[in-house]
A and B are shown apart, each in its own frame.
Chain A
Amino acid sequence: MSQDLLSRIYNSFDPFEPLPAGDPAYVDCAEVRGDTNILVDLGNKILRSQRMVCQLYTGHRGGGKSTELLRLKDHLEKNGCVVVYFAADEDDIDPEDAEYTDILLSCTRHLLEGLKDADPKPILGWLGDRWNDLKELALTEISFENLSIEAQITQFAKLTANIRAIPSERQKIRDKVNPHTITLLNALNEFIEDAKRKLPKGKTHLVAIADNLDRIVPIPKEHGRTIHDEIFLDRAQQLQGLNCHVIYTIPISMVYSSRASDLRDIYGDPQILPMVMVQTPEGQTDEVGIAKIIEIITKRINRTDINLVPDIFGSMEGLQRLCLMSGGHVRNLMLLVRSAIDYIDALPITDRAIQRSITQARDTFRRTVEQEEWELLAKVALDKQIDNAEEYRKLLFNRCVLQYVYFDADGELQPWYDVHPLIKSIQQFKDAVANLSQDKIEQQ
């Protein structure tokens, strides 16, 4: 088999591009993700609602959130919405200590850039009022009034970028801006109102989707709280205060904080994208889930003239093993296939190459888990449940524990949790399970 084909397959399993809406490689996994359908769950709420809705979306890193959100954007646009989707990046969020202000400034910047027809005057007016304060912080010497409208808009982007660029100035800029977040929010809403008045024909809703907010690294704050609590709970009122429909992505660990019920009270139930169920809670291989994963692989390879087994993969057993070890997590799957190809000179991908790829991925988990966490992991593996405690949030955040859902006998949707299948063969984990089972026997 030619090297070109191998290279093409290798490059098609890239871990870093979310699929655009309508991409032929997309596989609808709703039935093995507990019938979660973003178009119905988040989309319809927006399309049917009379008032503005603010919703949260979450799931494991690399599980397919951005791909789903891009589908949602497409769906909403086809149903009379103007959608401003943005993936918050390093110009928006401070890598060391993000604050609510960052998110507000970020939303403002992206809406300003995305809604060209609306009148930016309210926002620019706000910036003009702050100008004298900010000028002192060496932002610029020029006078604001003399700038063209375009240049004024650029200045706004610069303001947010400068907060990031000059660490020493960061706090000073924030100190100048923070007391005025309420007026900024009002100005932004005025701008949004104008944008809504000027919506193109056939468009009735305005939606903002803020992706990537789950990228904020959890930093512990006083009293056992994290930076996530400070942003998503303490500032919930402001986050909900935008005059358009909003969807924020939040870290999955937020949903399991000690204040998870507060979160629910404020935003309603957050929409979670669970992993593709490749194993049942009883530890049996789930054939439907595995078939979905194989479908994902097949669509990525996108060649009808070659057999998946034995031309691409040496054996069905090896392929299934690989699917199982992905934990039903899409990016993990991409990574496993990619690294397996690193271990062969020519197709097919042998069992040996698959096991090497699994070994390497397992090593990463060995490096991730900290000493005291093995016992917690053993507990999750036995109970298939987690507690609302900080230490479990960390395990969700770093994907050592994955969330799945299934329908029970009564047709009720049941979330359950399991340790990542790659961890299950690690010696420290096996020891911890043995210890725990021993304890249980002694207690009985």
Chain B
Amino acid sequence: MKSEAIDWEQDLPLDADEAYQSLVRSLRRTDGFSLLFVRCSPIQGEQIITDIGNDLKDKNIQVLELKESIENLYDRIAALDDLEHLNILFIKGIEQSIFAYEDREGNDINLRSLSPQYGGTWHDVPRVLGHLNLSRERFRDNFKFCIVFLLPEFALRYFIRRAPDFFDWRSNIYDFPTEKALVDQESFRLVSDGSFDEYQQLTNEQRIAKLCEIKSYIDESTDPTRTSELWAEKGLIHAAAKEYEEAIASFDRVLQIKPDDHQAWNNRGIALGILGIYEEAIASYDRALQINPDEHQAWYNRGYALGNLGRYEEAITSYDRALQINPDEHQAWSSRGYALGNLGRYEEAITSYDRALQINPEDHQAWYNRGIALGNLGRYEEAIASYDRALQIKPDKHEAWNNRGIALGNLGRYEEAIASYDRALQIKPDDHKAWSSRGYAFLRLAKFDEAFASFEKEMEFNEGSAYYDKACYYAVQNQIDEAITNLQKAIEIDSEEYLNRAKTDSDFDNIRHDRRFQALIQ
């Protein structure tokens, strides 16, 4: 097997799908105790739990949802039923205990982060984490299953800093990236009249100099209005350097002086949202909107946070408010379409994307998402046209090339589909799904050698799926022995996944009557 040369200086981050696959592998392979940390939004967390349930049917799974603050996680787990048969325990909501801790520190419920707590500073330890840190042996000795923490960014940082010994026993962190960062940065830009852009350009030294300068002004200032302006500026400088905890603390200082500063509430919400503290972010936007209901940006941001929590109906209502005030906000139309699509309301989603694209025809994400919605409705020609527009603007969007190939395949236009997969693979050579789809396109064209070569390539990146595809490859050619051998190998790697697929896959119709096949899928 040949692998391409690696530039060791260059990071190789995973996309959400790859993160999910690695999580599945870890859960499948672990025998007994392990600690896994998954950084994701609450809605991604829900999805992960559902998907794992489907993909690992032979595992016994429980979910412990913590709705309020707790001090002792061990006892909560020990009290669960049927622990001796448990394989995987998902834990959601551990951040609730950190919120409660910050409340205690901050006193004022509305200004929770007054002391610079978010992200875990070195002043104190939330009791739940202190306890975990000391009781890791007890977890290991008494819990013979995988414990999977689903948590937002800020809670993960808390674990790293305040429960280092417990965290040190992890098997891995699974980072589920969102495409949100771009939009969130955008939001700061919109509220700051250009200064945010300027702050982003600062070098590290300039930044520190600027922060020191502001700090000295704050110390000298006797005028509260001036002081609050300085805090607001400091907050934006921190936000530009992605120091969101510090940014929140600064915005809180503004709000201490001017509780009616809707801009500060809005900015605070954005920073909270980036850290994945969506409920708090929404509360912050609500405050901004109480003071100034015409702030369409806050309505938009609020919708975005709701969407991240999977509360799509509410998100749509919030986008609608933003669009009542400013119908030209293409981001809001686009995000509204995304929320509608998630609810399966594809026609409405398409209408919403159309509005976004009328205003800004350069929004490739909207073109791409519109293509997906059209594809879901079986309107493949239109879907292809939509992907084409996305690719005109952003030719390296490999997902769009990939989806375009699938749409072409659905229309039986396999040669074009193959060309599209080739483009996707030029950009992302390890995309096993593209290799697989490409192989099938050749298979449909009865170009067996090329199909085989494609599945062979897939083998480098995903063995299970490649064996399965090869089994199909042999089955359609009536080569029963090889088909069975390959299917067997696939099932050995992931019995759940491939048994289920084989049961209904029409590629096996040729060999379905065969007794060995029957025995295999029993």
Which residues in A have some Cβ–Cβ distance to B below 8 Å? Answer: 2-3, 6-7, 10-11, 14-17, 61-62, 87-90, 92-96, 167, 215, 217-220, 314-315, 318, 321, 331, 335, 338-339, 341-346, 348, 350-352, 354-356, 358-360, 362-364, 367-368, 371, 374, 394, 397-398, 425, 428, 431-432, 435
| Known interface pairs A6-B29, A220-B123, A342-B172; A318-B160 also in contact (CB < 8 Å) | no
| Known interface pairs A314-B3, A428-B204; A15-B12 also in contact (CB < 8 Å) | no
User: Residue on A with the closest CB to B204?
Assistant: A431
Question: Which A residues touch B23, using CB under 8 A?
Answer: 342
Q: With an 8 A cutoff between CB atoms, is B505 at the interface?
A: no
Q: Which of B6, B18, B123, B243 contacts A371 (CB 8 A)?
A: B243
Q: With an 8 A cutoff between CB atoms, is B66 at the interface?
A: no
| Known interface pairs A89-B134, A345-B462; A355-B6 also in contact (CB < 8 Å) | yes
**Are the CB atoms of B164 and A398 closer together than 8 Å?**
yes
**Are the CB atoms of B22 and A343 closer together than 8 Å?**
yes
| Known interface pairs A10-B30, A345-B464; A432-B124 also in contact (CB < 8 Å) | no
**Are the CB atoms of A11 and B134 closer together than 8 Å?**
no
Q: With an 8 A cutoff between CB atoms, is B224 at the interface?
A: no
Q: A-facing mask of B2-26, CB < 8 A → 1, else 0?
A: 0111101111111000100011011
Q: Once the chains are docked, how many angstroms separate the CA of A360 from the CA of B29?
A: 19
**Are the CB atoms of A217 and B3 closer together than 8 Å?**
no
Stretch at the interface among B56-64, B135-143, B249-257: B135-143
**Are the CB atoms of A360 and B134 closer together than 8 Å?**
no
Q: Once the chains are docked, how many angstroms separate the CA of A240 from the CA of B237?
A: 51
Question: Which A residues touch B8, using CB under 8 A?
Answer: 321, 355, 358, 425
**Are the CB atoms of B13 and A359 closer together than 8 Å?**
yes
Can you give 7 contacting A-B residue pairs, CB < 8 Å? A17-B140, A94-B130, A167-B71, A219-B123, A341-B25, A356-B14, A360-B175
Q: With an 8 A cutoff between CB atoms, is B79 at the interface?
A: no
Smallest CB–CB gap between B95 and chain A, Å? 15
User: Residue on A with the closest CB to B122?
Assistant: A220
Q: With an 8 A cutoff between CB atoms, is B108 at the interface?
A: no
Q: With an 8 A cutoff between CB atoms, is B412 at the interface?
A: no
If A62-B168, A342-B172 are given as contacts, then 15 extra A-B residue pairs at C-beta distance below 8 Å, sorted by A number, are A7-B28, A17-B140, A61-B164, A95-B127, A95-B130, A217-B125, A217-B162, A217-B164, A314-B1, A341-B29, A343-B14, A345-B462, A355-B6, A356-B12, A364-B160
Q: Which of B130, B140, B157 contacts A96 (CB 8 A)?
A: B130
Q: Which of B3, B13, B161, B164 contacts A350 (CB 8 A)?
A: B3
Smallest CB–CB gap between B506 and chain A, Å? 26
| Known interface pairs A3-B493, A342-B25, A398-B161; A215-B134 also in contact (CB < 8 Å) | yes
Q: With an 8 A cutoff between CB atoms, is B68 at the interface?
A: no
**Are the CB atoms of B130 and A345 closer together than 8 Å?**
no
**Are the CB atoms of A61 and B165 closer together than 8 Å?**
yes
**Are the CB atoms of B12 and A352 closer together than 8 Å?**
yes
| Known interface pairs A89-B134, A352-B12; A335-B205 also in contact (CB < 8 Å) | no
Q: Once the chains are docked, how many angstroms separate the CA of A343 from the CA of B25?
A: 8
Q: Which of B6, B18, B164 contacts A351 (CB 8 A)?
A: B6
Q: Once the chains are docked, how many angstroms separate the CA of A49 from the CA of B135?
A: 35
**Are the CB atoms of A368 and B161 closer together than 8 Å?**
yes
| Known interface pairs A345-B462, A360-B172; A7-B29 also in contact (CB < 8 Å) | yes
Q: Once the chains are docked, how many angstroms separate the CA of A210 from the CA of B87?
A: 33
Q: With an 8 A cutoff between CB atoms, is B169 at the interface?
A: yes
**Are the CB atoms of A425 and B9 closer together than 8 Å?**
yes
Q: Once the chains are docked, how many angstroms separate the CA of A364 from the CA of B164?
A: 12
Question: Which B residues touch A338, using CB under 8 A?
Answer: 171-172
Smallest CB–CB gap between B472 and chain A, Å? 18
Question: Which B residues touch A351, using CB under 8 A?
Answer: 3, 5-6
Q: Once the chains are docked, how many angstroms separate the CA of A345 from the CA of B467?
A: 12
Question: Which B residues touch A371, using CB under 8 A?
Answer: 241, 243, 246
**Are the CB atoms of B171 and A90 closer together than 8 Å?**
no
